[in-house]
Each structure stands twice: as C-alpha cells, then as structure tokens.
Amino acid sequence: MTGKWHELRVDAREDRIQVFWDGSQIIDTTDRTFTEPGKVGVWTKADSVTYFDDLTLVPL
C-alpha cells in the first residue's frame, strides 16, 4: 500500500468502540478497560513509515 492514503475513523462512546476504514465499519466492540475520559494517541509498527494528516478529535 505504498503511497496510498486512507481514512480511519474511531468512534468511542462509553464502553462501545467502532472503527471505520475508508468508510466501511470493520470493528464494533465493547471494552471497559478505560471508563473515564482521557488521552488519545496514534501508533504504528516500528518497521513502517506512516503519515497522519488532518487528525481531528471531537467530543461525542
């Protein structure tokens, strides 16, 4: 996938997490590990080169 851009969207409301890749939902799950509002981070594998553009956080 070298040289291609993709849209990644994550909606996290209470314990429900939904992940969308290029407009298609790929994950719909729940997780009670973190129950309080907090921080957001992005991560990639150490052997990859990844660029993030137009990162937007919106309280839901």
Domain extents for the chain? 1-31
- Confidence (pLDDT) at 50: 86
The bridge status of strand 8-13 relative to strand 16-21 is antiparallel
Q: What is the pLDDT of residues 13-29, one digit of tens each?
A: 889 999 999 999 999 99
pLDDT tens sequence across 33-60? 988 888 888 888 888 888 888 888 888 7
In this prediction, residue 1 has a pLDDT band, given cuts at 50, 70 and 90, of low
Q: How confident is the model at residue 6 (pLDDT cuts 50, 70, 90)?
A: very high
Are the C-beta atoms of 31 and 19 separated by less than 8 Å?
Answer: no
To the question of pTM greater than 0.95 for the whole model, the response is: no
Encode 6-23: b = buried (16+ Cβ within 10 Å), e = exposed: eeeeeeeeeeeeeeeeee
Helix, strand, or coil here: 9?
A: strand
